[in-house]
Chains A and B, each alone.
Chain A
């Protein structure tokens, strides 16, 4: 599903984010990528959605080599990978419904389909009653659930979650992880980038450890070992 072959990312001579990364994530896997701040986790997620380009090496999503993807193809790629961020990245002037709908609107989905799909997605994350609220009227946990609903809009085969619980308390963290596990059970590959020890240890799934831009450990049913 995701193949990262010998990828190096250099921002400047004094800032090397990733060094010769080799990674293969199969379809349907739930992989946690752990590491301290500055270890290269976010750079890895940015490379997967072509927000950054590798300095060296190649990245493949399915059969699609995205290493030298054109600017016109970037929106298409981003509609196939669901992204979840620590700061939710919701559009502040749009309601919960409109935020989820926006992901479908940009892909040219019909209004009829949008009216059909968005309530289903809001139901999956348990926020049917909050559809007309703006992000500022929702709690952090609720905002993150809206972000998850939006990431599911295109039925992506991959979801990349970059520190999705970083701003949440333990109860909301648990709820978000349960939703991600549920999504994974339906066959979606999840790549969770986090430095939350408890979350990683509770999952009992594959754990990849990044340190100074290099993979130092790859455990199939791993623990947070840094």
Chain B
């Protein structure tokens, strides 16, 4: 017990008396964590933005006025059987006519032309939403059956095809770029931290040698460095959390403008706090303990 207390005492003494080095280590860890969180936020925002755009895309299937209700229901059931379809909204002829009149209520010429036609020239409409924009093509192809040719007047997907393809391409590229940047940054961070700890250990090489000569066990030499690693990890996490808290509060109002759904990064972080803090604490701890362990291994050989 006394030995454990001494390990802690030596660790705190080391931190205090090497304050410059301690500050630099924590500073680099904080920078690394902030950068990781920035990338993390970009990833979250990208996902949210893509989700938002995807959500606004759908395919409308316009039936001819002659299409009967049971025929429309049959196609509706057929479309429901596709696992890619997440939502189907059907509007009957009257609803479509009503919607048309509402849209053009300020245009008497259009309404006049409609009246001249007499009766309801519109057929029912089905609005289809799929999981991924890429799935729309599959739905369109599935509807290209000879028995449906006379029932379906138009499919609005053609108008969205380019937009959907562009979003698909941008999303894929963005995800790849963010992933690449994340990996690159993780590697750079590891090298920087490893080197910082290695330099710290190197400068204390003589000191470790003296401790060994005086009869200190390896545990008594290694222990304080491990405690220091844990201390630096906790300290850097707390500082990062404080900076992040204010940073997110600053960014959130701007996000509210971009995301009308009311998406907030602060809320996201709070609802995932255990996961985010846990993963980052574990990563930093592994990084610091592994670096100091590797750097010390050579020095502790008797």
Beta-carbon contact of A106 and B214 below 8 Å: yes
Q: Say yes or no for A74: interface residue by CB 8 A criterion.
A: yes
Bound together, the chains give a CA A91 to CA B14 distance in angstroms of: 11
Beta-carbon contact of A91 and B211 below 8 Å: yes
Of A35-43, A54-62, A76-84, A181-189, the one contacting chain B is A76-84
Residues of the B chain whose Cβ atoms lie less than 8 Å from the Cβ of A75: 212, 215-217
Residues of the A chain whose Cβ atoms lie less than 8 Å from the Cβ of B14: 93
Give the residue of A76, A78, A110 whose beta carbon is less than 8 angstroms from that of B213. Answer: A78
Q: Say yes or no for B145: interface residue by CB 8 A criterion.
A: no
Q: Say yes or no for A103: interface residue by CB 8 A criterion.
A: yes
Beta-carbon contact of B207 and A106 below 8 Å: no
Give the A-B pair count, Cβ closer than 8 A: 53
| Interface members, chain B 192-218 (any A CB < 8 Å) | 207, 209-217
Beta-carbon contact of A91 and B3 below 8 Å: no
Interface of A is mostly: loop
Bound together, the chains give a CA A90 to CA B210 distance in angstroms of: 7
Residues of the A chain whose Cβ atoms lie less than 8 Å from the Cβ of B215: 75-79, 103, 106-107, 154
Beta-carbon contact of A83 and B213 below 8 Å: yes
0/1 string, B1-43, CB within 8 A of A gives 1: 0110010000001100110000000000000000000000000
Q: Say yes or no for B220: interface residue by CB 8 A criterion.
A: yes
Supposing A105-B6, A108-B3, A110-B2 touch, asked if A93 and B213 sit within 8 A by C-beta, the answer is no
CB distance from A88 to the nearest CB of B (A): 9
CB distance from B122 to the nearest CB of A (A): 86
Nearest residue, chain A, Cβ from B204: A93
Residues of the B chain whose Cβ atoms lie less than 8 Å from the Cβ of A49: 213
Bound together, the chains give a CA A49 to CA B215 distance in angstroms of: 10
Interface of B is mostly: helix
Bound together, the chains give a CA A85 to CA B212 distance in angstroms of: 14
Give the residue of A50, A85, A93 whose beta carbon is less than 8 angstroms from that of B302. Answer: A50
Nearest residue, chain B, Cβ from A93: B17
CB distance from A105 to the nearest CB of B (A): 5
Residues of the B chain whose Cβ atoms lie less than 8 Å from the Cβ of A89: 209-210, 213
Bound together, the chains give a CA A107 to CA B215 distance in angstroms of: 8
Q: Say yes or no for A150: interface residue by CB 8 A criterion.
A: yes
Residues of the A chain whose Cβ atoms lie less than 8 Å from the Cβ of B302: 50-51, 71, 74
Residues of the A chain whose Cβ atoms lie less than 8 Å from the Cβ of B211: 91, 102, 106
Beta-carbon contact of B214 and A108 below 8 Å: no
Give the residue of B2, B17, B18, B209 whose beta carbon is less than 8 angstroms from that of A108. Answer: B2
Residues of the B chain whose Cβ atoms lie less than 8 Å from the Cβ of A77: 215
Residues of the A chain whose Cβ atoms lie less than 8 Å from the Cβ of B3: 108
CB distance from B78 to the nearest CB of A (A): 76
Q: Say yes or no for A92: interface residue by CB 8 A criterion.
A: yes
Beta-carbon contact of B214 and A150 below 8 Å: yes
Bound together, the chains give a CA A50 to CA B18 distance in angstroms of: 31
Supposing A50-B302, A108-B3 touch, asked if A91 and B216 sit within 8 A by C-beta, the answer is no
Bound together, the chains give a CA A55 to CA B214 distance in angstroms of: 24
Give the residue of B17, B18, B220 whose beta carbon is less than 8 angstroms from that of A106. Answer: B220
Nearest residue, chain A, Cβ from B210: A89
Nearest residue, chain A, Cβ from B209: A89
Residues of the B chain whose Cβ atoms lie less than 8 Å from the Cβ of A111: 2
Bound together, the chains give a CA A106 to CA B17 distance in angstroms of: 20
CB distance from A1 to the nearest CB of B (A): 19
Beta-carbon contact of B207 and A93 below 8 Å: yes
Residues of the A chain whose Cβ atoms lie less than 8 Å from the Cβ of B210: 89-91
| Interface members, chain A 106-124 (any B CB < 8 Å) | 106-108, 110-111
CB distance from A154 to the nearest CB of B (A): 8
Bound together, the chains give a CA A106 to CA B214 distance in angstroms of: 8
Nearest residue, chain B, Cβ from A111: B2
Bound together, the chains give a CA A50 to CA B301 distance in angstroms of: 12
Residues of the B chain whose Cβ atoms lie less than 8 Å from the Cβ of A76: 215
Nearest residue, chain B, Cβ from A92: B207
| Interface members, chain B 26-77 (any A CB < 8 Å) | none
Bound together, the chains give a CA A91 to CA B215 distance in angstroms of: 14
* Residues in B lying within 8 Å of A, measured CB to CB: 2-3, 6, 13-14, 17-18, 207, 209-217, 220, 302
Pairs across A and B, CB under 8 Å, 18 listed: A50-B302, A51-B213, A75-B212, A75-B215, A75-B216, A78-B213, A89-B209, A89-B210, A89-B213, A91-B210, A92-B207, A93-B13, A93-B17, A93-B18, A102-B211, A106-B211, A106-B215, A110-B2
* Residues in A lying within 8 Å of B, measured CB to CB: 49-51, 71-72, 74-79, 83, 85, 89-94, 102-103, 105-108, 110-111, 150, 154
Given A75-B216, A106-B215, A108-B2, 15 more A-B residue pairs with CB atoms under 8 Å apart are A51-B213, A75-B212, A75-B215, A76-B215, A89-B209, A93-B14, A93-B17, A93-B207, A102-B211, A103-B214, A105-B6, A106-B211, A106-B220, A107-B215, A108-B3
The 9 closest A-B pairs by CB, nearest first: A78-B215, A79-B215, A106-B216, A93-B17, A75-B215, A71-B302, A89-B210, A75-B217, A74-B302
